[in-house]
Structure 1
């Protein structure tokens, strides 16, 4: 149902007592999306800044040392740490050991305690841990690893908690754009982190990377606490007109949401639509994570790019991806509002574009011999991945707005496994990094995952809100259960 947003509301909106009202005329749902963009941007920066920073942290002429000895070693600031290659790998991967453990918990906690605290507080604490990272590194190897694991644990919960906000904040016909604005902070942070870390390491020293990012994240946390609320009605800056528009569009109020607190875990795991999201998310992350890991080496070994040229090549696609994702979200919602396309078709088309075009351009690139042509194909192909935010990434909000954070938490946990499996597979396939045929084989493997994931999603996904995700009226609970037994759906099986 398309509901026009009124300029003035004739309805009397009852705001909670004790919530001071501020005159702030920006639409608060877009303020929330923008703050989500910054939050995801900072999460991405704090996660990925070490990829470049580690080059300044570790001595290039170090020899292999025993891990146990390094646990208690200290290092002079000018010489760098004497970590071995295996220790560097552990440092780079420590974040993900924590990250994959808290995705599901984050979705559940966000639903139980509200997304503002479960999204904002972990970023605040991880900012403090970021500032403490240099101190930990100079103290012992074990302590800096613990810092990275803890940051991963916190941000794993934070990432999934935010998805739950749209159940009370996003009108159905604006979900694609709002979700795309927020999520585009991730690729922007990934593209920004490489250049930022490289510049700061060369001018102020590697320690400053952690201090600056941590300080900015603390500042963001203060703004987040002051502005964001769990629902439109409790927001300090929202107008009555926007509250009426959001609540009428969504069809329920925060009071309604409190009626159902138990997560239907069994129904979620039996839902065919949910498994379509799981498969599409896994395959999307496989291609994205694997390409992110292997493309710098591909450009270095096949086209003799140095580390700075490879970094520039990896930055451009992610910056382009931000614009593409927001544009895709806007076009998708505009087409849905004009009823040119259904929500189900829109999600499937966007997923096919994201994975299909990405892998087609990448496969073509690995057969080209001109470096300029390859760069253009990589930038264009990777930018198309921005369509995924208006595709399967928005599906949890459509099929289960009440449990979107939980569904996404499970999905992101499964998909995060690709952060280990993709690069591992690449290492097994590409034994000779100068062999173009081996690179082509790996690109085709990535393509197979991408094509399969998009086709599976197109065949089995449905954007109709599931019966188990709908609000149940306590007065009609018995009748509803009776009707559900006889109802035939295309999903629960």
Structure 2
């Protein structure tokens, strides 16, 4: 008898079970990003202000903040604040762990089941989050090891959440279930100000304690309530099972149309390469935003801690809302004007990459104009929400049959951007502790956006590629509507990819 059966003998549930599962998926995405970004606010008190703040120079005059405002409470006085390169290690090591697990998540799911892997990996990551302050006390290398393991354990979550969405979502409710993955964005929006408030009232240790306890609570509920197979849930009715499983095979490709994944042809494909370059620039900028934006707003623009953290969340909210606007507009362009899929993807790439790149270039030499920079930050990340209807959905255009596997590998490789980016920032700020250093960082970010966008505009495509399969499969796929295709890939790129086979 399963744990769920022991705990829930008589359900008496009025709300359908799949809705409760969708809520837990939403909270799972939420919790995963709490564990991801809480260190970004805590890092403010782990770093020496002079390495990130602006000092007196030709650009502006800025008063340094000192670490005495909410000191780090440890019994030893031998601990020194982390230098920029050490901060880079702290940020990048998470992505290094994430890279490994995202590539093997399907193997773990096949062996132990997606529900168990998600629940126990999050539970272990929660415990490691609780001991993060102790790890810092024991030394930076212990701290880095803990963050690596948290990243490794967190990398299982999103690929396997996609599998559960396929299992639990009726065909008519797939859009609703995919939207639950926006819990990641909500998690970021709320975690920054929550962490700042905790940091102001207590110490950075408590950011980790509270984050870890919330994640443990979710993990226990998840393991008790969710099952891999719909029919194995002790509370579900036969009517709901029938509703979930009705016409589930509509989005599945017939077995006779399947074959081995042609990795060599995929790697040589110019449209796939262009998409990778596009997503590389996107991932680079998103990782910079998640890791360093609180520092930029706090140390450089001189916002107080809570306001800096709230302003870090506002552009993420704008990005999410803009992505919701773009998705139906993309469908409107296809249905109303019969615009080719490739043109639709490139149209939204202008908003997701070209415009944000131009905005960041405009921020150069304006770094100390507080209000202007704040507005530009909101704008460039907000426009980037168009990636949902642009590059993010493109892999399903190119290879619908192999999209899950290719996108998982691609997202694993894109983790390298999150590994490299912090060191680029650290080395730049190491040599330029003033406004010029941050301007160079913004220039690099803008180049990443613009280069990726231009490459995709030139070499990108919206057509099914020849390597995707036989004439039989191409006929089958080309008969699928754009609506059926894009509905499966409307998740945010912060979610780090899907691992299901379409």
Specify if TM > 0.5: yes
Give how far 1:282 is off.
0.8
Structure 2 CA distance for partners of 1:451 and 1:399, relative to 1, 3 Å: same
Equivalent runs, 1:150-169 vs 2, <5 Å = 150-165=149-164
For residue 9 of structure 1, what is the aligned residue in structure 2? none
For residue 287 of structure 1, what is the aligned residue in structure 2? 285
Give how far 1:48 is off.
1.9
Structure 2 CA distance for partners of 1:414 and 1:237, relative to 1, 3 Å: same
For residue 391 of structure 1, what is the aligned residue in structure 2? 390
Match of 1:209 among 207, 210, 226: 207
State yes or no: 1:38 paired with 2:27: yes
Give how far 1:94 is off.
3.4
Report if aligned partners of 2:352, 2:384 keep a CA contact under 8 Å in 1.
yes
For residue 82 of structure 1, what is the aligned residue in structure 2? 79
| CA displacement 1:144-168 (0-9 Å, x = unmatched) | 4322221111112333333445555
> Structure 2 CA distance, aligned partners of 1:272 and 1:234?
44
Give how far 1:415 is off.
1.6
For residue 242 of structure 1, what is the aligned residue in structure 2? 243
> Structure 2 CA distance, aligned partners of 1:258 and 1:134?
54
For residue 189 of structure 1, what is the aligned residue in structure 2? 187
State yes or no: 1:48 paired with 2:46: no
> Structure 1 CA distance, aligned partners of 2:247 and 2:205?
45
Q: Which moved more, 1:336-345 or 1:48-57?
A: 336-345
> Structure 2 CA distance, aligned partners of 1:84 and 1:149?
20
Instruction: Give SS of 1:49's match.
Output: helix
Instruction: Give SS of 1:102's match.
Output: helix
> Structure 2 CA distance, aligned partners of 1:202 and 1:340?
54
> Structure 2 CA distance, aligned partners of 1:397 and 1:372?
40
Give how far 1:126 is off.
0.9
Instruction: Return the TM-score normalized by structure 2.
Output: 0.70
Give how far 1:92 is off.
4.5
For the aligned residues, what is the CA RMSD? Answer: 4.7
> Structure 2 CA distance, aligned partners of 1:177 and 1:383?
22
> Structure 2 CA distance, aligned partners of 1:195 and 1:354?
26
| CA displacement 1:182-209 (0-9 Å, x = unmatched) | 1x33333333323222222343543332
Report if aligned partners of 1:52, 1:194 keep a CA contact under 8 Å in 2.
yes
Equivalent runs, 1:84-163 vs 2, <5 Å = 84-86=81-83, 90-110=89-109, 114-139=113-138, 141-163=140-162
State yes or no: 1:443 paired with 2:442: yes
> Structure 2 CA distance, aligned partners of 1:413 and 1:425?
20
How many corresponding residue pairs? 444
Structure 2 CA distance for partners of 1:148 and 1:448, relative to 1, 3 Å: closer
> Structure 1 CA distance, aligned partners of 2:319 and 2:107?
30
Structure 2 CA distance for partners of 1:198 and 1:371, relative to 1, 3 Å: closer
For structure 1, the residue ranges without an aligned partner over 5 or more in a row are 1-18, 62-74, 470-479
Give how far 1:483 is off.
6.8
> Structure 2 CA distance, aligned partners of 1:27 and 1:249?
23
> Structure 2 CA distance, aligned partners of 1:316 and 1:36?
23
| CA displacement 1:31-85 (0-9 Å, x = unmatched) | 6555333222222211221223245568999xxxxxxxxxxxxx97466761453
For structure 2, the residue ranges without an aligned partner over 5 or more in a row are 1-7, 51-71, 479-502
Report if aligned partners of 1:367, 1:440 keep a CA contact under 8 Å in 2.
yes
Give how far 1:462 is off.
3.0
